[in-house]
Amino acid sequence: MVPKHLRAGATDIVASIRQSVLKETAHPATNEDTLPLVTPTRKAGIATAASLIELCQSYLSHSDIEQIRAAYRYADDAHLGQIRKSGEPYITHPIAVASILAEWHLDAPTIQAGLMHDVLEDTGTSKIELAKLFGMTTADIVDGVSKLDKLKFSSNELAQAESFKKMLLAMSKDIRVILVKLADRLHNMRTLGVMRPEKRRRIAKETLDVYVPMAHHLGINHAFRELQELCLQNYHPRRYEVLHRELIAARKNRKPALEKILNDTKRMFATANIRGRVLGREKTCYGIYTQMKIKKLSFSEVFDIYGFRVIVSTREDCYRTLGALHMMYKPVNGRFKDFIAIPKSNGYQGLHTTVIGPQGTPVEFQIRTEKMNDIAEQGILVHWLNRGQESEIQTLTHAWLQSLLDLQQRSSNSSEFYENIKADLFPDRIYVFTPKGKIVSLPQDSTPIDFAYQIHTDLGNHIRSCRVNGKVQEPTMRLQNGDMVEINTSSTAHPTPDWLDYVKSGKARAEIRQYLRGLDFDTAVRIGREQLEMHAIGTDLKIDELPDEIWNAVMREMQLPSRASLFAEAGSGRANTAMLLHRIQALLDDQKEPVEEAQSVHVIVNGTKTRAQLARCCHPVWGDEICVYERAGHGVTIHRATCSHAQRSGTNNADQWETAQWADNGNLHFTTPMDLKVTNDRVAILEVTRTVAQEGASIVGLNIPDDRNNPELQLLVQVDNRIQLMRVMRALKQLKTVKAVNRRFESSF
């Protein structure tokens, strides 16, 4: 289930944040302790490079400032000649974004990234160049922002919202990416007025669906409220105007009552001996509008437009203040909430209560300590105040993810929750883009083929070629997070069985299988032959020159009536081409060299070098611990010390068993069987064969027991010695498709 705040529909968003709006849409009045209250307004004045630097100087070091100046000069150069819709030079936008980030007291790389957040998209700069000039951290943030920029949110699709969230998780290893994006959106919203009405509405809607919840999750309350106001203002300009006028008028009317409460509260501090301050607060227009809409109220019926926030020094004082307030005014039943004992998912703490004020109107009080107040207003930004190391940012990101998950936990059943956790914390999925910027979520290591099938069966079934990030690529290549994939189709193109060796998604696999099974026999035969020939390229095998007895042997093994049906098996994907070729090769080899005598090798028994044969029951490999068995007329056989034969017989005929050591291996090869538990035999075959080859060993036997539930590969591996064998097993264990590797005694070959 999609977390409430990321659910796409506007009504859902409104509904889900209603609670928080009612409780949290608060802001300090400009002059503390005085009325009238004011609606939250944005920082006045236009940010300039000079004002930005001044702002940064208030909390950053001299060398940080130099870095920021350099980024400014670079961005200024890059955007030279570009003009915003408002007619201002483009650079005013990045400066404003960087200034917002500086107001949030973010670090130098973040401010730099704010200044340069559009250079990758709008100018010819590359990420590598940025990294060279400004370091990897800054370059990574800019790159992350550019990738987020490519997202389009079609807000009525739940799936899209879910992908969006995961996309964030996957791409935002660094939460600063999101903070830059948030500042970017905030400034764009502030300057939206110059756009056409439809565009204003569209962007406002997107902001409400995506960025408002984001700000909320991060706990950046001031941005959360400002964005909400801007959304209403741009989505319903007329309604906003009317509401705003009403609000100003109402302020005047309620002033006496509010002033009385303010004075009563201050007096209460003195009597109860509590040190604290009290702030008036006012619901935003957005908050009022939402409440009117949901509860079908008129403006005059919305009572809790005004409220108060009491800030005290200790936790105990919070509860004492609550007690004192409840003595002073009658509390409204059921409206008390203890968010100190049970903090909100985004870390918010405080006591909330509604009391009946002097004129009989309900008034809400929020009681917090200074620290709680900081967290409530600044959220995640608070952590930058006592900024630590780079690693801390990772921790913060993690905490943020955790809060997302907590939120999810409250709103969905546990198995879905677990699934989502898994997906989030162990990201085994990647997120790629369509050319139009839609997100497609795929399993790790997916290919453009998976991508195509994810979008539409027809697209997958007619892939002719593909481009990844604008470059022509093989459809079987592995995609990376953030890749943009473009599929070109042709009506004559069609899936081939070898695709099954590459695809990762269940959907693609099923679709390819279905297509191949639907082929008529002749086509399957043709494709199967092509596949075998194609796979044989680079080997000594010549498909059309194979002797009949080989074909017959394979047909017999597979219980097929004809060579054509054999091809058809391969063409329809029922038989794995690579395996088939392997089998053919093995049969050919057998034909060339008739079964050898058991290999003989020198071992040392009781200090004497003796010629001995390798036992076939336990497949000893040079370097294994061994013992030998001597039987009249049969010579000496070498067994592994752990061989069950050796151990069983050993107890009865102790005299005939001797421990032994290996003499030189005489450049011999040794074969040993092993079992591999795999996740998917088709995929594993490719990787396993490649890996064994990379280790300089070779596979001399391969068997795939047909057990869908426990896919397994049985290998007979040829190595020079035990050290190489261990290397092979280690490498195999590291493959994602391989779950377990075990050396066996008995061979089934």
* Binding footprint of Mn ion on the chain (CB under 5 A): 118, 184
Residues linked to residue 693 through DSSP beta bridges, in sequence order: none
Tell me the closest approach of the beta carbon of residue 9 to Mn ion, in angstroms: 27
In our burial notation (b when 16+ CB lie closer than 10 A, e otherwise), range 590-613 reads: eeeeeeeeeebbebebeeeebebb
Q: What phi, psi does 352 have (nearest 5°)?
A: -120, 135
121 is an active site residue = yes
One-letter amino acid at 214 equals M
Which lies closer to Mn ion via its Cβ, residue 96 or residue 715? 96
Q: How far apart are alpha carbons 522 and 571 in whole angstroms?
A: 10
Which lies closer to Mn ion via its Cβ, residue 122 or residue 316? 122
Q: Which residues contact 319 (CB under 8 A, 6 or more apart)?
A: 340, 351
Nearest alpha carbon to residue 458 among 416, 493, 503: 493
Q: What phi, psi does 443 have (nearest 5°)?
A: -65, 155
Nearest alpha carbon to residue 278 among 247, 299, 306: 306
Q: What is the chain's percent helix, strand, coil content, to nearest 5? A: 55, 15, 30
Catalytic annotation, pick one of 33, 121, 316, 589: 121
In our burial notation (b when 16+ CB lie closer than 10 A, e otherwise), range 49-81 reads: beebbebbeeebeeebbebbbebbebbbebbee
Q: How many CB atoms lie within 10 A of CB 157?
A: 14
The angle at the Cα of 703, spanning 699 to 706, to the nearest 5 degrees, equals 155
122 is an active site residue = yes
Measured CA to CA in angstroms, residue 651 lies from 564, 654, 659, 661 at distances of 56, 6, 14, 21
Measured CA to CA in angstroms, residue 96 lies from 70, 111, 180, 307 at distances of 16, 10, 11, 32
- Which residue, judged by CB position, is nearest to Mn ion in the bound state? 184
Tell me the closest approach of the beta carbon of residue 345 to Mn ion, in angstroms: 29
Tell me the closest approach of the beta carbon of residue 231 to Mn ion, in angstroms: 18
Residue pair 309/303 in contact (Cβ under 8 Å)? The answer is no
Catalytic annotation, pick one of 122, 301, 392, 746: 122
Which lies closer to Mn ion via its Cβ, residue 121 or residue 316? 121
Q: How many CB atoms lie within 10 A of CB 253?
A: 10
Tell me the closest approach of the beta carbon of residue 433 to Mn ion, in angstroms: 19
Tell me the closest approach of the beta carbon of residue 8 to Mn ion, in angstroms: 23
Nearest alpha carbon to residue 200 among 212, 184, 188, 183: 188
Tell me the closest approach of the beta carbon of residue 13 to Mn ion, in angstroms: 23
Tell me the closest approach of the beta carbon of residue 157 to Mn ion, in angstroms: 25
Q: Is the dihedral of CA 389, 395, 401, 407 positive or negative?
A: negative
Q: Which two tokens stand for residue 331?
A: 């509390």
Q: How far apart are alpha carbons 557 and 676 in whole angstroms?
A: 23
Tell me the closest approach of the beta carbon of residue 117 to Mn ion, in angstroms: 6
Which lies closer to Mn ion via its Cβ, residue 142 or residue 516? 142
Q: Which two tokens stand for residue 211?
A: 């960025």
Instruction: For residue 639, give the DSSP letter.
Output: E
Q: How far apart are alpha carbons 681 and 660 in whole angstroms?
A: 39
One-letter amino acid at 431 equals Y
Q: How many CB atoms lie within 10 A of CB 224?
A: 27
Q: Which two tokens stand for residue 97?
A: 């974004």
Nearest alpha carbon to residue 94 among 117, 123, 110, 68: 117
| Active site positions, annotated | 121-122
